[in-house]
Structure 1
Amino acid sequence: MNGSLFQEALLSGSYGPKFYAFYYKQWSNYQMPFHVHDSTEIMYMISGQCRIDVRAGEGQEQRVVLRKGEFIVLDSGVPHRLIVDADSSCRMLNVEFGFTDRGQAAPDIRTIAEEEEEVTAFLRRDRSYLVLSDEEEVYPVLRSLVLELDQRGTDLRTITNVLFIQLLVTISRLAEERERGAFGHSELYVKRSIDFLHQHYDQNIRIKDVASSVNLHPGYLQRIFRKETGHTLTAYLTMIRMEKAKQLLSRTDIPIPEISEYVGVASRQYFHALFKKYTKLTPAQYRQNSDKYSWDRRLEEPGGH
């Protein structure tokens, strides 16, 4: 069994990961010579920016710029090099791995692929490398895997195998989303999500609830929502709640301690802190100012007293 991740052979037999190297590294003003690995390599950009030159196919050189939150999966045997400009730096997390026969131990890659069609499709694609953007899904798993390897060694253990399987499934889903071109439909999904937030802001909404309402994976919905709106789902929900709170404070006489319940914030103290952060005023100050503004407008109207 060679070290390539993109091989259908992993779908037969009982294969699991074999780890060769794993490390954090800060790079600055550095140029690496072209080299190859007998293993697959994941290079995850934690901060900064760098360039990866890849000689894919018939030796054609391709340049890839990695930024924070992006990562590249380089297949075994693919020549590549790292370039970090003199005026920039980057911090990366790297993992190099191949595969070994696990015998009867489970779960193996084949078993997971039988349950996750994205994994099957991912392993069957013939590619030299793959670049993907992460939204805090891949990095926590990758970090946990490296920490476990650091503390327990590279001998294949159940926990390291499970973490690798989780990593493989997550990356496969990200790749499948991109292959399907699902981002072309992102505007519709975001609109439906916003409608759901407006209809349920007074309830205890979780991200997975919003994702379920539009039939999307939570991580994918978060990515396209932020891309389309410039806000996270949580931040957008807070905006809706605070605007509704402003309306209730200025247009009704609902007691201030009860406003938090009307807008779906369980803790009155937390609501107070959120509102002040959002408006720079306490709820009481906002109502007082609204009352004064309303009174001033009444005096300006014809016949006002």
Structure 2
Amino acid sequence: MNRTESFSGSLFREPLRTEDWGPQFFAYYYKQWDDYQMSYHTHNSTEIMYIISGICRVDVMMADGSSEQAVLKKGQFILLDAGVPHRLLVQDGVPCRMLNVEFGFTPAAPGQPSIRRLALEEEAVHTFLTHTAPYLVLPDPEEVYYTMKSLVLELDQRGMMERRKGEKQKETDIPAAVNPGVIPPHERTLHREARNLTTPDQGTLVRTLFIQLLVRMARLRGEMERSMLDQTEVYVKRAVEFMYQNMDRSIQMKHIAAAVNLHPGYLHRLFRNYTQRTPTDYLTMLRMEKAKMLLQQTDIPISEISDYVGVGSRQYFHMLFKKYTGMTPVQFRGSIERTQWRYPEELE
């Protein structure tokens, strides 16, 4: 059983794409943090943290036990899937104000909009739901924020109406439904922290706003991935160009990364994902192909070839070349000479 099957609050569960489910919200709150360090924790719900102002850091523990850090600024948000260990860290003197919502899923009643139906109509949502990720950090042109604000306001108002309804029933001891009346305007803008929301049906408007939120997040992710792919191609091409121009000398990963203005670890990850090779493997391939060309087309002594391809040790060069071609440089040049040799015409 994988993680998305173990946690019913996961956004990437297959039943969301094959059965009719809708959202159910468990918590929402506006909160300002300062000098705060949270312990790693998990919960069976998907969480969105939207940064309204300031800076914060979210550490996420990956399935292999490693951790990744996301530094979030105003106008960014992080989506954390259910069951993913994470923690929040905020520096002293650099407060961070955020809007959070936590949600899971409940079966949709007949006639209600469902996530499955939305995914059938909106390709970006289908792609979003089928590409599992423990977390996502996305920039927002304020569309997600306004949708979340409307969603929280509606949840807040419904929560107050439910509380008023409960108080009214207590006062009159009437078990039947009681009209809670209209919430005063000054109370509508008071966003409270609300946890353990238990109302099964949180209203048509809540479901509609969630669908809008899901579509906006899916499209933002699609746009980001297309942009990243384009940018990755640029970085990889620049890195390969640097290798071509400098493979005759000793170069390391830090030199390649500096040439394209990226952190070595980040470039390594981008390069490997894009080419299916590490930068070191790719550089070795370029050097061995150049060595083959020099052995084929020039009379440069074999003992000097290693210097032409930036491998300082002749012994190491011979090892790399044999691993790459299956032959030693001597055997390779010998095979080329045999295929090129012909009897003189007068002896044929």
In the superposition, the TM-score normalised over structure 1's length comes to 0.59
- 1:56-103 C-alpha deviation (Å, 9 max, x unpaired): 121211111000000000000001000001131110000000001013
Partner SS, residue 88 of structure 1: coil
Instruction: Confirm or deny that 1:120 pairs with 2:106.
Output: no
Unaligned stretches of 5+ in structure 1?
186-305
* CA root-mean-square deviation: 1.5
CA distance in 1, matches of 2:37, 2:145: 25
Task: Return closer, same or farther for 1:121/1:72 CA change in 2, 3 Å cut-off.
Answer: same
Q: How does 1:157-236 map to 2 (within 5 A)?
A: 157-181=203-227, 184=230
Q: Is the 8 A contact 2:80 2:135 kept in 1?
A: yes
- 1:57 is aligned with what amino acid? A
What residue in structure 1 maps to residue 79 of structure 2? 73
What's 1:91 paired with? 97
Structure 1 residue ranges (4+ consecutive) displaced by more than 6 angstroms after TM superposition:
none
Q: What's the CA shift for 1:184?
A: 3.9
In 2, distance between residues paired with 1:183 and 1:136? Answer: 24
C-alpha separation between the residues in 1 aligned to 2:70 and 2:119? 29
Distance in 2, Cα, partners of 1:74 & 1:46: 17
> Aligned to 2:144, which of 115, 138, 146?
138
Partner of 2:68: 62
Deviation at 1:126, TM superposition (A): 1.4
Letter in 1 for 2:215: V
| Structure-1 separation of matches of 2:10 and 2:157 | 26
| 8 A contact 2:49–2:77 mirrored in 1 | yes
Q: Report the Cα offset of residue 179 of structure 1.
A: 1.7
Residue 103 of structure 1 corresponds to: 109
The 1-side partners of 2:143 and 2:20 are apart by: 26
1:22 match: 28
Contact 2:155–2:202, Cα closer than 8 Å, also in 1: no
Partners of 1:170 and 1:101 in 2: how far apart?
22
Alignment partner of 1:143: what SS? helix
Once the two structures are superposed, the pairs formed by residues 227-266 of structure 1 within 5 Å of their partners are none
Q: Deviations over 1:22-41 (max 9, x none)?
A: 00000001101111010000
Distance of 1:143 and 1:105 partners within structure 2: 26
- Offset at residue 177 of structure 1 (A): 1.0
Unaligned runs of 5+ in 2: 1-6, 160-198, 232-348
Distance of 2:83 and 2:229 partners within structure 1 = 32
Letter paired with 1:68: K
Equivalent position amino acid for 1:136 in 2:
E
Q: How many Å separate the matches in 1 of 2:225 and 2:25?
A: 28
Answer yes or no: is the 8 Å Cα contact 2:158–2:202 preserved in 1. Answer: no
- C-alpha displacement of 1:181: 2.6
| Corresponding residue SS for 2:47 | strand
Of Structure 1 and Structure 2, the greater strand share is in 1
Could you state the TM-score of these two structures normalised by the residue count of structure 2?
A: 0.52
CA contact (8 A) 2:56 2:73 kept: yes
> In 2, distance between residues paired with 1:183 and 1:60?
25
Measure, in 1, the Cα distance between the counterparts of 2:14 and 2:222: 16
SS at match of 1:169: helix
SS in 2 for 1:180: helix
- How many pairs are equivalent? 185
